[in-house]
Amino acid sequence: MSRLAELAPRARGVAAAVVIAAAVAGCGATGASNTKGPRWLVKVKGNYANVYAYPDTNKPGTSAAVELGTKFSLKQLDAAAARLGIPRSHVTSDIGS
C-alpha cells in the first residue's frame, strides 16, 4: 500500500474534525450576537441563578425568572435575586450590565 493511500483515511478524519470545529465555533458566534436582548435572572438549580440575554421575541422556559431589561443596576439584580430566593453570592453573569 502506498504512503498516500495510508494517509487518505486520516486526512478525511482531520477534514471532518475541522468541519465540526468550524460548526461549533459558528454556534458560539451566533449565541454571542444574542447579547443585545433583555437580560433575565434565571434560577438554574437549587439556590443558584444566572443572568442570560434572550432575544426580544423569546423568554426563559421557566417561571423562576425575572426580567432585568437591557441595562440593569446591582440594586435591580439584588431585588431580582431576593424575589427568586437566591443569595446574591449565588448569582453569576458573564454578560456586562
81: which residues sit within 8 A by CB, 6+ positions away? 41, 49, 87, 88, 90, 91
pLDDT of 51: 93
64 neighbors 50 (Cβ within 8 angstroms): no
pLDDT of 28: 38
Cα–Cα distance for residue pair 7/13, rounded to 1 Å: 10
The domain segmentation of the chain, as residue ranges, is 3-33, 37-92
pLDDT of 12: 63
Global pTM? 0.60
Average pLDDT value for the chain: 75
